[in-house]
Amino acid sequence: MSRYNPNWGRPNRNTPNDNADEAQPPYRANPIFSPGNSQPDNSSPNLPPTGPSVAPFQPTRQGAPPGSSSNRALPHPGGQFTPRQANTNEKTPQTGGRGGHPPLSHRPRQPQTGHGGRGGRLPGNSKPQGTRNVDIPGKELLANHFAITLGTYQQVFSYELNISRVHPEAQNDQSRTTETENGVPATQKTRKIARQKKRRLVYLLLEQLKLENRLPDPIATDYLKLLITPCQLDEGITKSREFDFYDEYSAGPDPNCDRYRVEFEKPKPISLTDLFAHYGSTQSQAAGAQISTEALTDATTALNIIFSYLPYQRCFSDRHDSTPSMTTVKGQTFYGIAPPPPPRHLGPWMTDTGKVLDGRGGLYSIPGFSRSVRGSFSSSGHVDLNIYIKTGCFWQHGSVQDVIDAFRRQHPSASLYALQEFLRRAPVRLAFQEPGLDRFSGIKGVVGNDGLSTADRCDMRHLKQQHSGGLVRDYFSMKHNWQMDPKVNVVKIGKESQNGHMTVPANLLQILPGRMKPSEIPRFSTRFPDENYNMIVTDGRRTFYSTDLAHGGAAAFRLSIDSRMARVPVTVLARPSLMYKTSENSNQAKYIDGALIHAGQWNIQGAAFVRPASGKKWSCVELTAEGRPLKCPTQGMTHFVDHLTHALWQYGMQRFEWWQFNPSNMGAQQYADTDLFPKQKTVSSFQKQSTAIIKLLKDLKANGVQLVVLLIPVHDLELYGAIKRAGDQKVGIATVCHVLQSGGKALWPKSILRPGDSQGRVNHDFLANLCMKINLKVDEATVNQALHGNPKILTPKTMIIGIDVAHGGGPRKHCPSVAAVVGSVNAEFSQWPASLLANPCSTRDDEEKEANEKILDLDQAVYERLLDYYNRNHDPRPKGSKDSGIPDQIIVYRDGVSESQFAMCKDYEYEKIGAALSKLFQQKGLPVELRPKVTLICAIKRHHTRLFPNPDVSSQDRSLVLNQQQKNGSVNNNPVPGCVVMDRITYGQGNDFFLVGQKAIQGTAIPVHYNVLQNPHNYDIQDIARMTYHLCYLFGRSRTSVGPCTPVYYADLVADRARCFVRQFYNPPRDNDQDQPLRPFDESELGHFKDCLQLHPDIARHMFYI
């Protein structure tokens, strides 16, 4: 389901949430300072308060005074657009606007005088922004980057730790055979040492050095494989040591515990001075020769580790029966651990990183902070610490029974299945010991049928003996002296990868502190910029830096950071003008002047689509089941059909015919089938659900229906996926799903502004958005809106391609990813058909498979898009005004990659795009001089840079922010759309920029970081930024600009839709045997996986995903 569809909520996808990223796998936030150089997965802490204290953000609705610094040009020239170029030095082709090339047959009309062509002032338009619609340079915002200052330690030394397991049979042998990660005796198989175990072993090493009075000062470590010191260590410190392993919750090692050896490798000297000098040069080419890629990576990693060491120390406790104050995600992000909840009258519930935002239902929402060292070329040489705020969702620590009780209090009507899904895979520690039984496990389910079972009614099951006989009560009372409690429930524990389970009373299982629930979105995680700013400059900086040298970390290494965020030069780009048709006359254009577009929003009242669909038959059906208490009444169905019919006509789709599903009774437009809403998620129930939907859609198509609007009662991801699989793949009919809203004792469509009042106001915004979606979905040549005058780079024969990859994200391992490729096919950039590809996992040297971001067969998908463009634009006439059907240039936006993957995109994938072009030219016998050049741009959405207005009253510039008062008293001070940053926090080489494309109505705006990797036309970076911003206004499903530009957005939507197609692989149903382990994806399934990505021929050339 679409990530951006407000009717459907958040998809089950590893995608960023402004303040809730930890619901997803952690993003590699480490810096890359030139395309192709990757950084290791290490983290770095916050900045030390070395300057004046930072005043809290005090929002004001007043503009800056005339003499304030916000009205003066910045001393740094970065805010002014200056001609800068990226990559090669080839000549720029003649581009210009649409008038510079022979028009295509379906090109929009040029501006005309007369009614409807006066700049687009439409009734009800928002007030203009009060400025001329031109680029406004010389502005300033703050970014959450803090400049690092180097101290007396100009060089540090890095020691790599080699951790290996000592085999039991060799522990008394002088040869001490060990098992490492890189090699083992031929008779032994390597077992990978878990990250948590390595972390514990490094902690034991430091504690041992402390006992020996040999612990270096200062020191920093990533608690994984590296130690950082300012001087070389003597042999007494670096000698090999062995440890009996025991976890942090045990008083000491067991007699049969594993034994490990920790060895120091030779030290590697790392120059911090060279790192700062590298970015101090204004000539990036000269600077690149001063320090090697390896040295650059090593110095950045060392700084990351040093800044992370202060909070990392607080992730450990001195005693096994005490709780640490912080927890970490891979040493990159740090969260406070919630103490026992205080009485309600004692005020906020605090952790080391801020107050607990929510503690209901067995989960905690807790803010945390991540760090990343980043550099930028400039005359002063900026090396910054980027501090970012996140919100994590954590299990309530303590007894599992307490978690169950908290969940049931929060959700009193939740089913047993809902509780089981909530608890599944919760990490637990056994409060009892048994020989051969691992103290750490996970919950596989709860025991019970209609209700929860207690120990006196539940048969005992053991991992090694599933039918051991007797009751749970008898087993634990005899073996562990457990006292029966009738209020305690029984849960199943065991590893997901193994058969069987053990039944255990819930109060004998403990969820340990700081354990994250990754699949859950934390509550109260969105905050406006003012609040985030205050939390970053106070709690965030305090998390990573202390001026007390005894605390260790950055200050102990004599590093300091600015007390204020970095000031960044900003240019506000001019808004594009848009074109529609008038609703009264389809031959007359209606223009919306960019000056009248306010905060990226415009009104289309009185306007019709540029090229509407025509001659389609549609129907509307409500999906329900016998016995469901709430249904849509006759008044609601009539209201929806009548007003949607009128809206279709209003926006130009005047030859749409409505087909009544039940011709005899307007109040009976329901398709009732109990199989549509299965009570249990099993293979058979989902097959019945799919069969019921396919039957309905086939009947509709047999009656000539080409579009069906399905009204459904609830948000149901499984039902939505089944509808899309049936419509897009099995039947070949366009489907639009609309979730009804409850009002009174019925369900009502959103065409009614207030549920239950069918005579009340009409929700015109909803109907307009629905019409936009329908117009693009049902025809392959439709156009909603178009640019009135293209930016400099775009020509009518430009082809734009968007690429993204969706990964599994479900519980099943080794599933292929899905690559999505969209390509524009017309001069208005309104139609973007798509191709889907299976992308198998990559296999590393240690045989561990992982999601593959590199698209192995990208040439196939790009060839499909090129061939589609050719077929639609090729003029078959033998001579004369023949159109070759080949674009004059191709611009590719690659989404979904991190900075460490730039080299892969620049080399491997760029070559694959070239191979697709070669195949088309060879197949069609086209002359080589027609071959278009390809510009490659990477769009990064999952980064940690945010922009804030300056809280200093003397320098405020409110023209840069929305400054909108909210009902709760807070102020939305997000940057206005069009804010672009091209200096100070960029790489400083003229190849990248940050762009705010849309109005952020909640949370803190995420500027997209665009990086130009291939630029054969030698375009100026500001022209690329302006083109990208204009593309944000062509998203066909909205009357607002969007954050990521349209090709990136569409590729993301296609990738999300592909998840529906292959959901059976990512989230397979379990039937009734919940103990059956989920086996990893096997290569023999790849053929079936690819088949599940095939589109029906009647849909393939349409924007089925919109």
Q: How does pLDDT run across 370-381, given as a tens digit for each residue?
A: 999 999 886 677
Residues with Cβ within 8 Å of 602's Cβ and at least 6 positions away in sequence, in order, are: 120, 122, 125, 126, 578, 592, 596, 1039, 1040
pLDDT for res 168: 67
Q: What are 368's strand-pairing partners?
A: 335, 390
Q: What is the pLDDT of residues 1078-1092, one digit of tens each?
A: 788 888 899 999 999
pLDDT range class, residue 255, cuts 50, 70, 90:
confident
Instruction: Give the whole-angstrom CA distance, residue 369 versus residue 335.
Output: 7
Distance CA 85, CA 95 (A): 17
What average pLDDT is seen over the chain?
Answer: 84
Report DSSP state, residue 1067: S
DSSP class of residue 367 equals E
Minimal CA–CA distance to 954: which of 60, 52, 64? 64
| 3-state secondary structure labels for all residues of 88-129 | CCCCCCCCCCHHHCCCCCCCCCCCCCCCCCCCCCCCCCCCCC
Q: What angle do CA 974, 991, 378 make, to 5 degrees?
A: 85
Which long-range contacts (C-beta less than 8 Å, at least 24 apart) are formed by 210-213? 212/236
128 or 390: whose pLDDT is higher? 390
Instruction: List, for residues 829-863, the tens digit of each pLDDT value.
Output: 999 999 999 999 876 544 455 778 899 999 999 99
Indicate if the pLDDT at residue 561 is higher than 60: yes
Asked if 595 and 684 count as a contact pair (C-beta separation under 8 A), the reply is: no
Instruction: Give the rounded distance of the alpha carbon of 113 from its chain centre.
Output: 46
For residue 562, the tally of other CB atoms under 10 A from its CB is 20
Does residue 115 surpass a pLDDT of 80?
Answer: no
Instruction: Look up residue 729 and give its DSSP letter.
Output: I
pTM of the predicted model as reported, rounded to 2 decimal places = 0.86
Q: Where are the beta strands (DSSP E) in 203-266?
A: 220-221, 226-229, 241-244, 259-264
Task: Quickly count helices (H) and strands (E) in the chain.
Answer: 21, 47
Structure tokens at 147: 């400049």
Q: How many CB atoms lie within 10 A of CB 745?
A: 10
Separation of alpha carbons 431 and 429, rounded Å: 6
Which residues are within 8 A (CB) of 6 and not within 5 positions of it... i.e. 6 or more apart? none
Lowest mean pLDDT among 217-226, 796-805, 984-993: 984-993
Distance CA 651, CA 643 (A): 12
Per-residue model confidence (pLDDT) at position 696: 97
Output the six-digit token pair for 855: 């698209």
The region of weakest confidence among 82-86, 627-631, 750-754, 858-862 is 82-86
Compute the average pLDDT of residues 496-514: 90
The C-alpha atoms of residue 547 and residue 553 are separated, in whole angstroms, by 10
Q: Return d(Cα 9, Cα 2) in angstroms, integer.
A: 8
What is the per-residue pLDDT for 64?
37
Determine contact, residues 270/230, Cβ cutoff 8 Å. no
Q: Under a CB-based contact definition with an 8 Å cutoff, are residues 206 and 194 in contact?
A: no
* pLDDT number for residue 843: 66
Do 528 and 971 touch, CB atoms closer than 8 A?
yes
* Predicted confidence (pLDDT) at residue 55 exceeds the cutoff of 50: no
Asked if 177 and 277 count as a contact pair (C-beta separation under 8 A), the reply is: no
Helical ranges in 937-1040 per DSSP H = 1021-1031
Beta strands (DSSP E) in 915-1007 are: 933-940, 947-948, 964-965, 971-972, 979-981, 992-995
* CA gap 626, 157 in Å, rounded: 72
Q: What are the structure tokens assigned to 937, written together?
A: 């741009």
Whole-number Å distance between alpha carbons of 385 and 307: 9
How far, CA to CA in Å, does 62 sit from each of 130, 947, 957?
A: 15, 20, 9
Neighbour count for residue 134 (Cβ, 10 Å)? 12
Which of 32-41, 136-145, 294-303 has the lowest average pLDDT? 32-41
In the chain, CATH 2.170.260.10 covers 398-511
Assess whether pLDDT exceeds 60 at residue 16.
Answer: no
- What pLDDT is stored for residue 497 in this prediction? 72
Please give the C-alpha separations between residue 349 and each of 340, 370, 511, 522, in angstroms, as whole numbers. 9, 22, 20, 16
Give the integer Cα–Cα distance in Å for 833 and 822: 6
Look at residue 74 and give its three-state secondary structure. Answer: coil
Dist CA 711 CA 757 (whole Å)? 18
Of 79 and 791, the structure prediction assigns the larger pLDDT to 791
pLDDT at residue 5 greater than cutoff 70: no
Centre a 10 Å sphere on the Cβ of residue 733 and count the other Cβ atoms it contains. 22
CB atoms within 10 A of CB 927: 9
Which residue ranges does the chain devote to CATH 3.40.50.2300?
612-778
Task: Tell me what pLDDT residue 79 has.
Answer: 39
For the chain, the first-to-last Cα distance in angstroms comes to: 10
- For residues 932 and 799, is the Cβ–Cβ distance under 8 A? yes
Measured between alpha carbons, how far is 960 from 974 in angstroms, rounded to an integer? 8
Q: pLDDT band at 882, cuts 50/70/90? A: low
Report, as an integer, the average pLDDT of 221-232: 97
Range scoring the smallest mean pLDDT among 85-99, 268-282, 470-484, 1058-1072: 85-99
318 CB-near residues (< 8 Å, 6+ apart): none
Pairing of strands 817-823, 607-608: unpaired
CATH architecture of the domain with residue range 612-778: 3-Layer(aba) Sandwich (3.40)
- Residue 208 confidence (pLDDT) above 70: yes
Range 51-55 contact pairs with CB under 8 angstroms and sequence separation of 24 or more? 51/562, 51/563, 51/564, 52/563, 53/563, 54/537, 54/538, 54/563, 54/564, 54/951, 55/951, 55/952
Q: Is the pLDDT of residue 606 over 50?
A: yes
Q: In this structure, is the dihedral angle defined by the CA atoms of residues 604, 610, 616 and 622, taken in order, positive or negative?
A: negative
Structure tokens at 316: 């450990």
Q: What is the pLDDT of residue 130?
A: 44
| Tens-place pLDDT, residues 816-833 | 999 999 999 999 999 999
- Single out the residue of 609, 425, 631 nearest to residue 516, CA to CA: 425
Strands 798-806 and 817-823 come out as antiparallel
What does the buried/exposed string (b/e) look like for 989-1010 if buried means 16 or more CB atoms within 10 Å of the residue's CB?
A: bbbbbbbbbbbbeebbbbbbbb
pLDDT given for residue 178 in this prediction: 55
pLDDT tens for 400-450 read 999 999 999 999 988 888 899 899 999 999 999 888 888 999 999 898 866
- Longest Cα–Cα distance of the chain, Å, equals 97
Q: Are 1067 and 809 in contact (CB under 8 A)?
A: no
Quick one: pLDDT at residue 1072? 54
If one looks up domain 398-511 in CATH, what number appears? 2.170.260.10
More confident residue, 668 or 737: 737
pLDDT reported for residue 108: 35
Q: What is the pLDDT of residue 103?
A: 36
330, 26 in Cβ contact below 8 A? Answer: yes
CB atoms under 10 Å from CB of 1052, counted, come to 26
Kindly indicate the confidence band of residue 52, based on its pLDDT and cuts at 50, 70 and 90. Answer: very low
What's the confidence (pLDDT) of residue 467? Answer: 57
* Interval 736-765 mean pLDDT: 89
Only one residue has tokens 């999906």, namely 623
| C-beta of residue 311 within 8 angstroms of C-beta of residue 5 | no
Tell me: pLDDT of 60 over 60. no
Task: Give the separation between CA 251 and CA 234, rounded to whole angstroms.
Answer: 31
Pairing verdict, β 490-493 and 363-376:
unpaired
pLDDT at 496: 76
pLDDT for residue 341: 78
pLDDT of res. 20: 42
Q: 308 pLDDT exceeds 50?
A: yes
- In this prediction, residues 1055-1059 reach a mean pLDDT of 95
- The region of weakest confidence among 95-109, 621-635, 697-711 is 95-109
| Long-range interactions of 453-456: CB distance < 8 A, separation 24+ | 453/489, 453/490, 454/486, 454/487, 454/488, 454/489, 454/490, 455/484, 455/485, 455/488, 455/490, 455/505, 456/484, 456/486
Distance CA 224, CA 639 (A): 63
CB 389 within 8 A of CB 367: yes
